[in-house]
Structure 1
Amino acid sequence: MQTLLVGLDAACFPVIRPLFEDGELPHLETVFKDGTAGRLESQIPPWTASAWPSLYTGVNPGKHGVFDFLRFDGYDWDIVNSTDVRQRTLWEYADEAGMTSVVVNAPVTSPPPDIDGAVIPGYLASEDPQSHPTGILDDVRDAIGGYRVYARRETDERVGAEKFDDYLELSRMRGEAFRYLTDRFDPEFGFIQFQKTDAVFHDFPGDHEKVRQIYRAVDKQVGAILNECDPDTVIVASDHGMGEYEGYEFRVNQYLHEASVVKTTTEGQGVPSWFQIKDERLTESGTGESGHPVLERFAGTAASMGLTYQRGKAILETLGLAEFVGKHVPVGAVFAASDAVDFRMSQAYLRSPSELGVRLNVEGRDPDGVVSADEYEIARDEIITLLSEATTPDGMPVFEEVAEREEYIYGPYADEAVDILTIPNDFQHSLSAVVGRQFGDPEPYNHKRNGVIALAGAGVDTDAELVNAQLFDVAPTVLASLGIAPAKTMDGDVLGMLDPPEPTSYPEYTVREQTATEDDEVAQRLSDLGYLE
């Protein structure tokens, strides 16, 4: 193997340095200390579904087309998949250069392209994803005694410790599957991604011992891979960082509603929500009516206060009511009693918190646009000014920057993104699409802007200073380690510790036809992590 890329979701120095100091991660620490390492600045927005495609294509979301966990067609939505990534990936560059790749657990890679090598998709794929080549997932399962993309979901009988045990088991499966495939395909390039280094913070916030155990399990697998694959060059990178949120949950649509920018309706949820996917799929009655007026009134009040599924489920489990509500109460019908954003009548709105911005409702672009093309710039400037003036209950600015989309997102697909980017102050505040009280408590841990990168091995100049590294630099740097010229269209550069090949122009990329995801189980998992409210 010439180059091994290890992806650690949400890894950052505040998390891994204490583990290095305690001797918990000997194999990863060797890469960081024997090579060169530094902070890796993520993109805006720094969320998994968009950031990993940026890392493995080397371009910003406006050029590859994935901005969030969701893609929108007018006001309708679906979960993104690999057909939404409309740029060459690292393994496609390698394939065109006559090299073999093994890719395990990379997010947004289902369905995979036809390359020389193997791809087992990761996050946002189904539990039994289409893999490449056909039948390879069955072979992996036979060889290592089972393979899953996700931890088994919680039930009333199976929570807590057993769920965490699944996290550790998944880390083992990733490593063993990768080693099996590299032994079988003998690739020049290998990419393995570990997702639970992120999920552990969402599902077990503040449990530092579980964080240690996850990282130890990952480090063990990295050590086995280094021993068996003996790569010439090792690159470790993350898509973003992770840390505590000490500010507020800012409900952007409520703020814009009070300024008459957002219009609301009680005709059902407009903003994508877990409650949209729950009815008739988890309830026994399927009638669409709860038959409990008191519960409906309670739910309307709860929704206005920001009671999302993730928080509500925790309360119901504590009370022992989660299973009953899941089977008998059509929650979407209940929450329809509360106000929600009316996409069609609003001038602008937050449609998904992890897009980190506001979309204008523009005539000719959006199905029922109310902002004319002539008014677009004026309206956008006014909303930027309005959002820039938002302050917390402590009188501090909510946002460190409210920017036109073009500041961070540009390219042929940029018009599919939000029009205004809203960057929380020091990433201490989270955003919510809920209509109700303007502020709430954020989830305890969430994404931060700075991740990490480390390089060691052949051709790595360890005396070269690693500063100002950005997410888009990872792909051209990986290609340089393989002796492949980066594309001129890439937004990043080869990091200075490797000799950079001269960038070249590649033939126009053949974009695959976009296919629907429509996977209820994946949507449920997004809601479990708080990405769907």
Structure 2
Amino acid sequence: MKNDEKEKNLMKTTVLGLDGADWKILNSLLEQGELPMLQKLMENGSHGVLNSTVPPNSPPAWASMITGVNPGKHNIFDFTCIDTSYDKVPIDAMSRISALPLWRIMNRFKMTTGIVNLPIHFPPEPVDGFMICGLVTPWSAEIYTHPPEISPKIGNPGEQWLIGKTLVNGGSPEAFLEEIKQKTRIQADWIIRLQNEYQPDFLFAVFDGTDKIQHFFWKYWDKTHPRHPKRTSKILMESISAYYRYIDSCLAEIIATRPESNFFIVSDHGFTGLSKDVYIENWLRQKGYLHLKETPVTSAETRYERMGHSLWNKLAASQGLKTALKNNPISRSLISTFKERLNEKRKKARLNQNVDWSQTRVFFAGVSSQSLQVNLKGRESLGCVEADQYNELVREVLSQVRGIIDPETGKPVLQAAYEKSEIYHGPWSQNSPDLVLIPENGYSLQEGFPDELVTPSFLYGMDRSGGHCPEGIFIACGPNIRRNPSMMNAQITDITPTVLYLNKLPIPDYVDGSVLTDLVDETYLASNPLEITDQITLSQSKSVEMTPEEKELLENHLRALGYF
């Protein structure tokens, strides 16, 4: 079907993402009548659990949501990947992505689009409409929007758009909360401003404050968390609930500007309590899968890293002590200097400099992807595992890793472990990590070699008490959405085909997801037959490429955020 032959649908579609939003929190507030906008959408539409990718990691999850396919087809597995020389390099997601995102399909059919704050998006691409990039945007980027003239109007992205600078710079929890609220207000204002100016047929906007606040403030909301404080300030104790109430009011403002629209409220994954880090590299070394070079430099790096872990664990355990130290100008300067030295040590202690690759058979692929990689001969530059040994080694490691026990509880730290062929399919499956590990609730896999295999969880010197779980949310409401009070069950890949169908657009035949017909109005279903097309194909898009300068900015940015 030619683009100009497609009748343009007059009904608009709005997808509003709440990164990491979880039904546990929503339900507790809905029961008290504290989320009136979301309550109204649910009462007049449909809702349910939106199951994430495996693992429930934001880059592959958002990519699956906007393409309708599993990571083996869209080729996005993490924020970073490890190249054949064992260097961790940033993913240029929007040039790497191998399935057309929703807005590119819509632009093909002459529909206008507005894309705002998608976490995997940078640099901006020319669209028929507008775009503001999200999480991976370098804080110092001069142009992070389309049209480009929007960027200077918003201002420096690190100061005026992206959440996280207070956290990375060692600010107090209260200051971080204030930054989250301020940036959320800025994001909502720009969504409304651009929506009113452009009136796009399709609006896709993400708020990532939900993810940030739950990572570091979950223990205050969850009374069952091992580190839930008995006494603390009301601001901290109410932080998550207050933010959800604030987001509800922001959603109401945006929704009011698009009265003739079908609305979807979605999250890329859910959240759960996190209390412990598992140093999987330690386990790999103990089992003989990973070998380190025995050099004085390595020993010094390891001692320095252990000292850093010990210091920050003690500070994380005593919020009052940490606050007091930061309020003292002398101790604040010492802490800042120490953190800079520690970061420099960690930069020098790169994986490829400390590992004896001639003897290492398996290594940790990354904190974000929670996965292991085989050091395969012919694929990795110093690979030592022969191709005919690969399958046997993978089965052996899977059997062994499932038996990792928390010494404190005597229980397994992993919920599941998979080889990649069990969860990914498609032309890019070979780019995925070899083994994907799913920790039990409460655990996260970390890199490094402290004395203990399992330690309290932390990041940036703050107590990291919340982590991802697969069960996200979706709420749908609008003229073409039926009222369905029952809790539905959907896959994250179902969003793209459902949105395309509601816009009377053909669905690519490679899509893994299905149209959620149980939430579509019966009259619309009866008068609009499903259309599948083979005219839209999987292909690695190169419509937007990073310059070398942008790649360097992105790497430095992801390093600051802790992905390197």
TM-score by length of 2: 0.81
Aligned to 1:130: 144
Distance 1:456 1:481, change over 3 A: same
Aligned to 2:341: 330
Is 1:237 aligned to 2:266, yes or no?
yes
| More deviation, 321-330/408-417 | 321-330
Tell whether the 8 Å contact from 2:217 to 2:465 is kept in structure 1 after alignment. no
| Structure 1 gaps, min length 5 | 271-292
Is 1:407 aligned to 2:407, yes or no?
no
Aligned to 2:180: 167
Q: Secondary structure at the match of 1:245?
A: strand
Deviation at residue 10 of structure 1 after TM alignment: 0.7
Aligned to 1:99: 111
Cα deviations across residues 188-214 of structure 1 (Å, max 9, x unaligned)?
A: 100111100110122334334111222
- Out of 466, 472, 495, the position equivalent to 1:451 is 472
Q: Secondary structure at the match of 2:47?
A: strand
Cα deviations across residues 41-65 of structure 1 (Å, max 9, x unaligned)?
A: 1111112222111111111122222
One-letter code aligned to 2:243 = I
Tell whether the 8 Å contact from 1:66 to 1:85 is kept in structure 2 after alignment. yes
Is 1:261 aligned to 2:272, yes or no?
no
Equivalent residue runs for 1:67-466 within 5 Å: 67-74=77-84, 75-81=86-92, 82-127=94-139, 128=141, 129-139=143-153, 147-153=160-166, 159-208=172-221, 209-245=238-274, 248-265=276-293, 299-302=304-307, 319-320=325-326, 321-327=331-337, 330-332=341-343, 334=345, 342=355, 344-345=357-358, 346-393=360-407, 394-425=409-440, 427-436=441-450, 437-442=452-457, 443-463=464-484
Cα deviations across residues 61-119 of structure 1 (Å, max 9, x unaligned)?
A: 22222211212222112233332323211111111111001111111111132221101
Across the aligned residues of Structure 1 and Structure 2, the Cα RMSD in angstroms comes to 3.2
One-letter code aligned to 2:342 = V
Q: Secondary structure at the match of 1:222?
A: helix
Distance 1:264 1:90, change over 3 A: same
Tell whether the 8 Å contact from 1:343 to 1:349 is kept in structure 2 after alignment. no
Deviation at residue 16 of structure 1 after TM alignment: 0.8
Tell whether the 8 Å contact from 1:201 to 1:445 is kept in structure 2 after alignment. yes
Distance 1:97 1:409, change over 3 A: same
Cα deviations across residues 463-493 of structure 1 (Å, max 9, x unaligned)?
A: 4966331111111112122222221112211
Aligned to 2:504: 483
| Structure 2 gaps, min length 5 | 1-10, 222-237, 458-463
Distance 1:185 1:122 in 2: 20
One-letter code aligned to 2:475 = A
Aligned to 2:531: 502
Tell whether the 8 Å contact from 2:357 to 2:383 is kept in structure 1 after alignment. yes
One-letter code aligned to 2:190 = A
| More deviation, 200-209/230-239 | 200-209
Aligned to 1:511: 541
One-letter code aligned to 2:334 = F
Cα deviations across residues 192-239 of structure 1 (Å, max 9, x unaligned)?
A: 111001101223343341112221221111111111121421111100
Aligned to 2:43: 33
Q: Secondary structure at the match of 1:105?
A: strand
Distance 2:187 2:309 in 1: 41
Distance 1:168 1:408, change over 3 A: same
Tell whether the 8 Å contact from 1:83 to 1:111 is kept in structure 2 after alignment. no
Distance 1:336 1:475, change over 3 A: closer
One-letter code aligned to 1:178 = I
Distance 1:449 1:268 in 2: 43
One-letter code aligned to 1:414 = S
Distance 1:508 1:240, change over 3 A: closer
Distance 1:310 1:103, change over 3 A: farther
Deviation at residue 120 of structure 1 after TM alignment: 0.3
Tell whether the 8 Å contact from 2:281 to 2:290 is kept in structure 1 after alignment. yes
Q: Secondary structure at the match of 1:115?
A: coil
Aligned to 2:30: 20
Deviation at residue 259 of structure 1 after TM alignment: 1.1
- Out of 72, 76, 85, the position equivalent to 1:66 is 76
Tell whether the 8 Å contact from 2:372 to 2:436 is kept in structure 1 after alignment. yes
Tell whether the 8 Å contact from 1:245 to 1:445 is kept in structure 2 after alignment. yes
Deviation at residue 461 of structure 1 after TM alignment: 2.5
Distance 1:300 1:113, change over 3 A: closer
Q: Secondary structure at the match of 2:268?
A: coil
One-letter code aligned to 1:388 = R
Cα deviations across residues 430-480 of structure 1 (Å, max 9, x unaligned)?
A: 111222321112342111110111111122232496633111111111212
One-letter code aligned to 2:69 = V
One-letter code aligned to 2:249 = K
Distance 1:37 1:256, change over 3 A: same
Tell whether the 8 Å contact from 1:41 to 1:451 is kept in structure 2 after alignment. yes
Tell whether the 8 Å contact from 2:42 to 2:485 is kept in structure 1 after alignment. no
Aligned to 1:277: none
Q: Secondary structure at the match of 1:264?
A: coil
Distance 1:120 1:164 in 2: 23
Tell whether the 8 Å contact from 2:216 to 2:465 is kept in structure 1 after alignment. no
| More deviation, 129-138/355-364 | 129-138
Q: Secondary structure at the match of 1:355?
A: coil
One-letter code aligned to 1:302 = M
TM-score by length of 1: 0.85
